[in-house]
Structure 1
Amino acid sequence: MFAERHTIKLPRFPAEPSLQKAKPATPKEVAQQWITKLESVLKNKDAAALSTVMHTDCWLRDMLAFSWDIRTIHGLDNLAVYFGDNWNHSTLSNLRIRETGKFSPSTSSPIEGLEWLESMFDFDTTVGKGSGMLRLVQGPDGVWKGYMIYTALQELKDFQQQEKYLRPHGGLEKLPGGAAKGNWFERRQRQMEFLDEDPTVLCLGAGQSGLNMAARLQAMGVSALIVDKNKRVGDNWRSRYRTLVTHDPVQYTHMAFLPFPSNWPLFTPKDKLGDWFESYANLMELNVWTQSTITSSTYDDNTHTWTVEIQRGDGSTRTLHPKHIILCTGHAGEALIPSFPGQDTFQGKVYHASFHQDAAETGSAAGKKVVVVGTGNSGHDIAQNYYENGAQVTMLQRRGTYVISAAKGLFMLHEGMYDEGGPPTEDADIAGQSLPIPVQFALNVDLTKRIAEAEKENVEGLTKAGFKIDFGEDGSGIYRKYITRGGGYYIDVGCSKLIIEGKIAVKQSPGGISHFEPNKLVLATGERLDADVVVLATGYDNMRTSARKIFGDKVADRCKDVWDLDEEGEVNAMWRPSGHPGFWFMGGSLALARQYSRFVALQIKAIEAGLTQR
């Protein structure tokens, strides 16, 4: 069951006309007065006084600032309990608003009838430094109170990321042991092979998750090794179908510490991204063993240590003892490959979308009858690929799909935040994650309507062509589908036009496929489709299935299911405690990998530094 339970209706807080007659305080004055009162409440650990600064219907999204987890708290009573449970862990102090820039105090109306004052702010905690967002609403009595508050730990005081003023010196005389212990190159060879120590963290997978993760860890002084089965770093993208490009624009997809160059393409071709990954690993001095796989693993609850055997590409075997393992193989698990009655009698070709390379490589596609089962991103891209190689293509749709164009709607999603005129990426990440996920859903309803209006011609054309469009639960659009299902949408890069023009056919079959015949695919509706090739763009299982396949039942049974939302509205098990000590799930888009790798690294560093229990 996906997270439909997180459909909410936001209350309205319109500006009070009677209060506008008096000279209003400036947004900066209001924000400063409020944050001063909040700091006093926190300093005095006075849960009873929270009602003087927080609205009854308030929300707090907290990422490690109060507790060592990612939490969403809704309602004043629940907030008082949360603060009470965590006073001794961490108390915010030295709260200060951002006085300049895009996120200095200002008022806005995100939807009709809801007006708030918002500002970014910075703070100290017992163990580190953080940043957040405040959003205040004004009651009938004119008092401003906290409505949406975000607090996120950004660094640990004693273990700051080695960047900017803290960057390494680089001179040989500054390295431990001096020249006698080797120059930079000689030391790197020993580091990469872990000849002198075991890695503290073992990351499985050298995609965007593993690379961002290792870069964050090493910047905090935590040794990390990435193990990847491919021949080269970046092959996880190079090996995908020939026409693939990123579906998010470059401004949104930067990686930690090393943004893409200013002349980088807006959307990155897969092979170019693979080359960037390889360069990133070298430039960031990440330790990567390619052509390597885990052959066995055990965890000792007494020593909090893994024993992992790794088969390397040269045939050798190494046994390592990391404290943590991070599964960085993507937010999805194993490919969901259904089978159907009569499939063994089918004289054509059937394969899952994950095995697709290029229609031109499957033999002569011209004139072939191809049925693509599934209407998400992969299904559309593969259908377009086959059509462009001369095939007769039919897409089979079981249920509605949300469609947003890369030319219009996609940029509306990122407008003012991740675009050429946007704020620094670090600030955009804070603001972009600052609203509770259920609140984001609610606010996205209006945005989804505006996108649909801007793309009206496309929406009407698809509907007329027999394609069923689903705008998501409560009409909340793409993000809800992504964060709860990991699919159910298509970012249109050309296939919609082919459907509208009738060049690619669409068949509806809510019951899916009934069975195969030697030369046909029979739908649950009874309709028979001639087919030479059937592509099953049927998605992927829970990421926990990957953990079970690699690490066995003993580990997987202790883990929680991954993805979708928990009762509070946070993502299950991803980027936070998995249920198994020393085992973490790390996945998501390039942007999410950049953003959340910080929080996973902070959690691991806090454990290793003794700031929190394992």
Structure 2
Amino acid sequence: MATRLPHAFVDFRTIRGKDKIAKYINDNSNRLNLRNVWRRKSGVYTPRIEEPDPAAGVEWAETMIDFETDIGRGSSMVRLVTDDAGNNVIFALNLALQELKGHEDNVKERRPHGGNNSLKGGSMQGNWQERREREKEFNDAEPFVLVIGAGQAGLEIGARLGRLDAPTLIIDRNPRIGDNWRNRYRTLVTHDPVNYCHTPYLPFPPNWPLFTPKDKLADWFEAYASIMELNVWTSTTIESAEYSEETNSWTVRIIRGDGPVIVLCPQHIILATGHSGEPLVPKFNEQDKFSGTVYHTSQHQDASHDPEEGSGNSGHDISQNFYENGADVTMLQRSGTYVISVEKGVHMQHNGIYDETGPPTEDADIYDQSLPLLVQFALKVHQTARIAEAEKEELDGLRRVGFALNFGVDNSGVTRLYLCKGGGYSIDVGCTKLIIDGKIKVHQSVDGIREFDEGGLVLADGKRLDADVVVLATGYDNMRTTAKKILGDKVANRLLDVWDLNDEGEVNAIWRYSGHPGFWYMGGNLALCRMYSKFLALQIKASKEGLYTLPI
């Protein structure tokens, strides 16, 4: 019988310092039973000397390794440096399980046969199409996992669980798969390049655009759900959900379209409704006197004399959208924003890893995850400085027109802002030039809006702006607020806040234990959803097979 592992062992951990590492190994050596460790003999990540950033003054020897434990197989990176005495010592060793023994993905040599007689019960149980209809409706069984949200997070964790034979139902309130992208503003495109955004098992084709228009991506997700045989119910919402400590399962009342209430009893619920929680919508003095329209960026579809409060990603994109629709736009900025362009800075971030010259996506993901986040952030300081030098002309232009800049936490750029703050940056797809050219005006107002009047608003510094529309690019709350809205206080009160880092330097609650048994958060951009859906699926599958103890 396989070893039953404690939850603390099947989790994201960063152990630092010789004494702590020695204690961890000593305490877990019997459980770990690491063996059959082999360095890669082909591909990009064979043994090599690497200088992660010339300005960092760091050099190490690195290689990708494959390994085995009692319960599974993994692939990771090891990095060695030379100490002051001239000895080669391990600087960082990453161990990441990629599959469970006996429960591997049913892909490649384990792919299904496809013939009717190869299926359970033979052709008497129907052909593929007839079986799929029953599977999608869950006529013969309960879903083991219920996923709320059919965007990239929900579809990709559904695909991972499906390949592990963990019956999964994905629900979404929208009428069509992809509507969470399709219904956004007309000019939206992805801000990350295609090679960073591939979906699990089904990468984008080689003629796919570098940056994906939102409607094209929406159609891709609709096709992806069909090709990957995902069970998705659209126009579906949750009426209530109760968790039983006795049965370790949920009782969920679901409303599907205008039909009757359906009761399901999954063992796990995954909240996959996006990176953030509910919109942060401030209220202002005398707002009811305003004759125009005030709304949050989450409600924006398409664009007029239009101030906009907020200068992050959404603020820039929507300001550009308004300008391109003929509006007179003023951006209100309360604090500095980190600005990076898709053409230069984003390219520099992914160069050699997620581009046409890079390794297979699976290896790139292992490499990308293999350094502790705090080490990555330290290296990002140097990368951010190089990006700023490459984009000096644009940044100087923004400064000249009064746009306040910053370069992230400790000058570490966009990655730390995304993971720890959930905002404070703009990935530029054209708005920067409009600001520099004076086509979009910028006004600094550290304390924001003081009050509204009938024809506009008055800022805290006393300046008055005329407006027909005010768009609030004021960000979003924590994902826990959405959990509360959907599942209620009883569940939400046990949940941990999501994102930012814990004491070990790992991201809080997302893709791992949430604070409530049988409840998981799943979110992030397309790349993070691809990478971490694998690890969340492995945690759920391991618990299903009795390989580790779920936290209470």
Give the TM-score range, shorter chain: over 0.9
Per the alignment, residue 333 of structure 2 pairs with: 397
Per the alignment, residue 284 of structure 2 pairs with: 340
The alpha carbon displacement at 1:142 in A equals: 2.4
Structure 1: gaps spanning 5 or more residues? 1-63, 360-367
1:275 aligns with 2:219: yes
1:110 aligns with 2:52: yes
1:144 aligns with 2:79: no
Give the letter aligned to residue 397 of structure 1: Q
The alpha carbon displacement at 1:83 in A equals: 2.2
Give the letter aligned to residue 173 of structure 1: N
The CA distance in 2 between the partners of 1:433 and 1:562, in whole Å, is: 19
Per the alignment, residue 208 of structure 1 pairs with: 152
Per the alignment, residue 229 of structure 2 pairs with: 285
Identical amino acids, percent of aligned pairs: 60
Instruction: Give a deviation string over 1:234-271, Cα, whole Å, max 9, x none.
Output: 00100111110001000000011000010011111111
Aligned pairs (5 A) from 1:253-332: 253-332=197-276
Contact 2:307 2:330 in 1 (8 A): yes
Out of 433, 455, 460, the position equivalent to 1:519 is 455
The CA distance in 2 between the partners of 1:512 and 1:344, in whole Å, is: 18
SS of the residue corresponding to residue 121 of structure 1 reads strand
Contact 1:249 1:266 in 2 (8 A): yes
Out of 553, 562, 566, the position equivalent to 2:489 is 553
Contact 1:396 1:509 in 2 (8 A): yes
The CA distance in 2 between the partners of 1:473 and 1:229, in whole Å, is: 36
Contact 1:250 1:265 in 2 (8 A): yes
Number of equivalenced pairs: 543
Out of 163, 171, 191, the position equivalent to 1:227 is 171
Contact 1:294 1:550 in 2 (8 A): yes
The CA distance in 1 between the partners of 2:104 and 2:93, in whole Å, is: 25
1:438 aligns with 2:374: yes
SS of the residue corresponding to residue 89 of structure 1 reads helix
The CA distance in 2 between the partners of 1:287 and 1:314, in whole Å, is: 19
Instruction: Give a deviation string over 1:69-98, Cα, whole Å, max 9, x none.
Output: 111111111112222332333221111001
Contact 1:66 1:90 in 2 (8 A): no
The alpha carbon displacement at 1:314 in A equals: 4.0
The alpha carbon displacement at 1:66 in A equals: 8.7
With 72-81 and 551-560 compared, the bigger mean Cα shift is at 72-81
The alpha carbon displacement at 1:109 in A equals: 1.9
Out of 393, 400, 411, the position equivalent to 1:457 is 393
The alpha carbon displacement at 1:440 in A equals: 0.7
Contact 2:75 2:98 in 1 (8 A): yes
Q: TM-score, normalised by structure 2?
A: 0.97
The CA distance in 2 between the partners of 1:65 and 1:150, in whole Å, is: 19
Give the letter aligned to residue 227 of structure 2: L
Contact 1:206 1:228 in 2 (8 A): yes
Structure 2: gaps spanning 5 or more residues? 1-5
Give the letter aligned to residue 268 of structure 2: H
SS of the residue corresponding to residue 587 of structure 1 reads coil
The alpha carbon displacement at 1:319 in A equals: 0.6
* Residues 1:175 and 1:108: Cα distance change in structure 2 (over 3 Å): same
* Residues 1:108 and 1:518: Cα distance change in structure 2 (over 3 Å): same
Q: TM-score, normalised by structure 1?
A: 0.87
The alpha carbon displacement at 1:348 in A equals: 1.1
SS of the residue corresponding to residue 611 of structure 1 reads coil
The CA distance in 1 between the partners of 2:462 and 2:30, in whole Å, is: 65
Contact 1:346 1:519 in 2 (8 A): yes
1:505 aligns with 2:447: no
Instruction: Give a deviation string over 1:531-576, Cα, whole Å, max 9, x none.
Output: 1110001110000000011111110111101111111111110000
The alpha carbon displacement at 1:278 in A equals: 0.3
Which portions of structure 1, spanning 4 or more consecutive aligned residues, are displaced by more than 4 angstroms? none
* Residues 1:65 and 1:319: Cα distance change in structure 2 (over 3 Å): closer
The alpha carbon displacement at 1:317 in A equals: 2.0
Per the alignment, residue 101 of structure 1 pairs with: 43
Aligned Cα RMSD in Å? 1.2
Per the alignment, residue 351 of structure 2 pairs with: 415
Instruction: Give a deviation string over 1:48-82, Cα, whole Å, max 9, x none.
Output: xxxxxxxxxxxxxxxx9992111111111111222
Contact 1:380 1:490 in 2 (8 A): yes
1:426 aligns with 2:362: yes
Per the alignment, residue 81 of structure 1 pairs with: 23
Instruction: Give a deviation string over 1:575-610, Cα, whole Å, max 9, x none.
Output: 000010000000000000000000000000010100
The alpha carbon displacement at 1:523 in A equals: 1.2
Out of 173, 176, 180, the position equivalent to 2:120 is 176
Instruction: Give a deviation string over 1:158-212, Cα, whole Å, max 9, x none.
Output: 1000011111111111111101111111111110000111000000000000000
Contact 1:65 1:125 in 2 (8 A): no
Give the letter aligned to residue 195 of structure 1: N
The alpha carbon displacement at 1:389 in A equals: 1.6
The alpha carbon displacement at 1:525 in A equals: 1.3
Give the letter aligned to residue 82 of structure 1: Y
The CA distance in 2 between the partners of 1:125 and 1:65, in whole Å, is: 16
1:569 aligns with 2:505: yes
1:589 aligns with 2:525: yes
Aligned pairs (5 A) from 1:35-74: 67-74=9-16
The alpha carbon displacement at 1:369 in A equals: 1.6
The alpha carbon displacement at 1:407 in A equals: 0.9
Contact 1:65 1:90 in 2 (8 A): no
Contact 2:306 2:467 in 1 (8 A): yes
Out of 137, 152, 161, the position equivalent to 1:217 is 161
Per the alignment, residue 3 of structure 2 pairs with: none
SS of the residue corresponding to residue 77 of structure 1 reads helix
Contact 1:372 1:395 in 2 (8 A): yes
Give the letter aligned to residue 367 of structure 2: A
The alpha carbon displacement at 1:302 in A equals: 1.1
The CA distance in 2 between the partners of 1:376 and 1:126, in whole Å, is: 47
The alpha carbon displacement at 1:398 in A equals: 0.6
Contact 1:331 1:563 in 2 (8 A): no
SS of the residue corresponding to residue 98 of structure 2 reads strand
The CA distance in 2 between the partners of 1:71 and 1:382, in whole Å, is: 39
The CA distance in 1 between the partners of 2:277 and 2:488, in whole Å, is: 14
The CA distance in 1 between the partners of 2:66 and 2:210, in whole Å, is: 32
Higher Cα radius of gyration? 1
Give the letter aligned to residue 259 of structure 2: G
Out of 326, 331, 342, the position equivalent to 1:406 is 342
The CA distance in 2 between the partners of 1:523 and 1:85, in whole Å, is: 59
SS of the residue corresponding to residue 588 of structure 1 reads coil
Contact 1:65 1:151 in 2 (8 A): no
The CA distance in 1 between the partners of 2:443 and 2:23, in whole Å, is: 53
Give the letter aligned to residue 21 of structure 2: L
Contact 1:73 1:568 in 2 (8 A): yes
Per the alignment, residue 610 of structure 1 pairs with: 546
Out of 97, 100, 106, the position equivalent to 1:156 is 100
Per the alignment, residue 474 of structure 2 pairs with: 538
SS of the residue corresponding to residue 135 of structure 1 reads strand
